[in-house]
Amino acid sequence: MLSKTTTLTQEKQLSMCNEQYSVADCITLWGNSASIALLDPACKIFSKPTIPGIIGYRRESNNIIVFGDPLCPPEHIADLTAAFHAEFEKSVKNIIYVAASERFTNWSLQKLNKAAISFGHELIIDPSHDPRIGPGEKAALLRRKCNQAARQGVQIFEYIEYNAEQEKMIEAIGQSWIKNRKGPQIYLQHVAIFADREHKRYFYAQQDGVIIGVLILNAIGIPKGWVLSFSMVPDTAPKGTSELLLVCAFELLAKQGCSFFSIGSVPSNELNRIEGLGYLTTWFARHAYGVSKKIFNFGDEERQRYWKKFRPKKESTYLIFCKPKIGVGSVLSIMRALNASV
């Protein structure tokens, strides 16, 4: 299930981008894992008719919060970023990029003299390497989980052709999952299962003819592959259902030549690389992060153990500050933009 953009020539892509392309089209062309935040209705979109590409942002307490990297061809990064900063830099306290890639962060530090903090890691899996295969405790645990679900009659399918009854069951799973979410929450987008469906793939777990879990992937362009949008498996599903959903999706993606699957960015246990900030600002950043970590349980050991079974590789993700100032207002703006709630 590919986006219509994948069939267009690059020249036509550039000429049409700001006229006929949807946000989802741009994510499929140039987006990374954080770009799915642009699909949330609360996100605003910046563009210029003369520059191919878009930047997604939210304005929170006189701060501009940008999600991920600018979405545009690499050769237009400088022009689009400059236009965006010219639009807002003088009228707001700060422009802050959340979950920016290391590549864009290094470019910003070199070309724009900004400040940056490494706050997390993007977890990346190559679907062509089956995480169940091989020696070691992680592979063995994943095999046990998948076998446990399979023995209880759980089957995995991809939802492709329209089926009204199945869509009702999938929507019901989504509503139940939202209702039963517990504890502090941070997320990039609200659940809108079938919005922009041409850019998504849907896998579902079924037991005795009833859908008991749903996995939603979103197409991204840099690098070309898929990002986990939602994994919605209620606690009532057999143990191992969510793991079986993922590995079956990986099997199909691998057969289709996909080598990139992103789980998304997860916070680190502590801040790592910090550049462009003074001593007091650095101290405040570390202290504020420590408080946020306790409130939102960034070091959730159970969640970390879950993803470790898939043996992902890690790539650093960053906060970029266009002005080397971080205060309580900046922290609150970031949290509000990430839909944080307790």
pLDDT band for position 5 (cuts 50, 70, 90): very low
What's the pLDDT tens digit per position in 194-248?
988 999 999 999 999 999 999 999 999 989 999 999 999 998 999 999 999 999 9
Tallying the residues shown for the chain, one arrives at 342
Predicted confidence (pLDDT) at residue 302 exceeds the cutoff of 80? no
| Together in a domain, 257 and 129 | yes
Percent over 90 (pLDDT), the chain: 67
Look at residue 22 in the predicted model and tell me its pLDDT: 87
For residue 307, tell me if it sits in a domain: no
What's the pLDDT tens digit per position in 304-323?
788 999 999 999 999 999 99
Predicted confidence (pLDDT) at residue 166 exceeds the cutoff of 60? yes
Contact assessment for residue 238 and residue 267, using Cβ atoms and an 8 Å cutoff: no
| Together in a domain, 146 and 248 | yes
For residue 292, tell me if it sits in a domain: yes
For residue 71, tell me if it sits in a domain: yes
Least confident of 107-116, 182-191, 279-288: 182-191
| Together in a domain, 108 and 155 | no
| Together in a domain, 14 and 26 | yes
Look at residue 291 in the predicted model and tell me its pLDDT: 85
| Together in a domain, 20 and 118 | yes
Domain that holds residue 104: 4-123+266-299+314-337
Task: Indicate the residue type of 26.
Answer: C
Residues 53-70 have a mean pLDDT of 95
pLDDT band for position 268 (cuts 50, 70, 90): confident
For residue 167, tell me if it sits in a domain: yes
| Together in a domain, 247 and 283 | no
Residues 13-41 have a mean pLDDT of 80
Could you tell me the pTM of the whole model? Answer: 0.88
User: What's the CATH code of the domain at 205?
Assistant: 3.40.630.30
pLDDT band for position 340 (cuts 50, 70, 90): low
